[in-house]
Amino acid sequence: MLYPLSLAVFRQKSREMPLKSFVREIGNMSKKFTKKEKHECRRGGAYIAPDSSPLSSTAGSSTALTEHGRWANLPPELLLDIIQRVEARETCWPGRGDVVACASVCRSWRQITKEVVKTPEQCGFLTFPISLKQPGSRDTPIECFIQREKATSTYRLYMGLSPALSGNLNKLLLVAKKVRRATCTDFVISLVGNDFSRSSNNYVGKLNQPPKDSLVRSTNRSLQKTHSRQVSPRKPMFITAKISYQLNVLRTRGPRRMKCDMYSIPASAIGQGGTAPTPTAFTNCNDEARLGFKTLKSAQNVPLVLRNKAPRWHEQLQCWCLNFKGRVTVASVKNFQLVAAAEPSQNVAVPEQEKVILQFGKIGKDIFTMDYRYPLSALQAFAISLSSFDTKPVCE
């Protein structure tokens, strides 16, 4: 008969065995991951097991259930101690996967892990899939890069400095597939690279370009001079952001004007004491919650507006320049930095208005860096960056 470990036994065991080995022992004995889930973890997927254990419905698995019960019945103070140690030790991927493994042991482990792990805004780490829809860190940007595959029209978002610098520490976050249609081009965003079905649980959202004739029919002259894209989930259409590029009629190279209306983030979020919407769980209740955002229904909640930071002309280099602090090394019309465009009545401090919220730029063939921070999430930053890949006719 197996008895739960006491806190004293665990502390003695932790001195004798490295913590990572202890966590791996837990994962092996719990046998919670199926072959498919293990494959997703190796590929960089952050998977949390469902509340209902697959072991409970499998015949002939009494031994597995006994082992599962051993870890499910740990004292709460011992369990909290284990997860806090794991969370504090593993601060980057792939080691961060041990935290995900703790959340996959059973329901009690999952609940305490969710309480221990903080949001990206608080800790600057991306751990679970829901972290992709939560605002980034307030203190330092979360550094990512995008790898473009022209042959398959896919774009992969990784957390890391670059493929060369990060090596095996890269963490796959999101994958987008470019779909060309007769009147527009869409980017379907998924959690994995082999499933872009809108009926799948891996489906996250879509970046779509409104048909060109819809802009022509508009009575607003400013809309006729913009190339706009919208971020929306599956039908019915629910727009969470609008990205617009000013049309360069002369088609000459030069800095372009970019504007992002973030309908799901209030402008007050960047003010003192302001907060941005932070979803805490995936839900299938409705399409609005599926993407994790809610539009601002109150007239007092003015949406946040982002604009590209104006570059300066470099006389010696004879080109327009921005300070990317070493994160961008190749000149490209796609490179940009976004800052908040606050109105005087919103009482936003000048330093906050000058702070770069999102920067995107080229560092090599089909490799682009993407650094974002609060109040944008990884999903929002990725969608805005994707829009830059399909604006050549209006940018050059």
What is the per-residue pLDDT across 232-284, written as a single tens digit (0 to 9) for each?
Answer: 544 445 678 899 887 655 455 556 788 999 999 999 899 888 899 999 876 54
Is 101:23 a contact under the CB 8 Å cutoff? yes
Taking the C-alpha atoms of residue 176 and residue 157, their distance in angstroms, rounded to an integer, is 8
Is residue 366 situated within a structural domain? yes
Residues 36, 279: Cα–Cα separation, whole Å: 27
Query: Residue 151 falls within a domain, yes or no?
Result: yes
- 11 falls within a domain: no
Q: What is the pLDDT along the chain (396 residues), one digit of tens a residue?
A: 334 444 455 555 555 455 556 566 655 544 444 444 444 444 444 444 333 333 333 334 444 444 456 677 888 898 999 899 999 998 888 888 899 988 988 888 999 999 999 999 999 999 999 999 999 999 999 999 999 999 999 999 999 888 887 777 789 999 999 998 887 888 999 999 999 998 888 999 899 876 654 443 333 333 323 345 665 544 445 678 899 887 655 455 556 788 999 999 999 899 888 899 999 876 543 343 333 344 454 445 789 999 999 888 888 877 778 889 889 999 888 899 999 998 777 777 788 888 999 999 999 999 999 999 999 999 999 999 999 887 554 333
Residues 196 and 263 in one domain: yes
Domain that holds residue 276: 142-211+239-388
Does residue 67 form part of some domain?
no
- 85 and 176 in a single domain? The answer is no
> By C-alpha distance, which of 351, 367, 371 is closest to 359?
371
What pLDDT, on a 0 to 100 scale, did the predictor assign at position 203?
92
Asked if residue 381 lies in contact with residue 205, where contact means CB atoms within 8 angstroms, the answer is: no
- Within this chain, do residues 78 and 172 fall inside the same structural domain, yes or no? no
Residue 271 lies in a domain: yes
What is the predicted pLDDT for the residue at 396?
Answer: 34
Q: Does one domain contain both 102 and 153?
A: no
Return the exposure string of 222-253: e unless at least 16 CB atoms fall within 10 Å of the residue's CB, then b.
eeeebbbbbbbbbeeebbbbbbbbbbbeeeee
Residues 373 and 247 placed together within one structural domain of the fold: yes
Domain count, the chain: 2
Same domain, 368 and 326: yes
Supply the pLDDT for residue 74: 83
Regarding whether 274 and 152 lie in a shared domain, the answer is yes
In a domain, 256, yes or no: yes
326 in the same domain as 246: yes
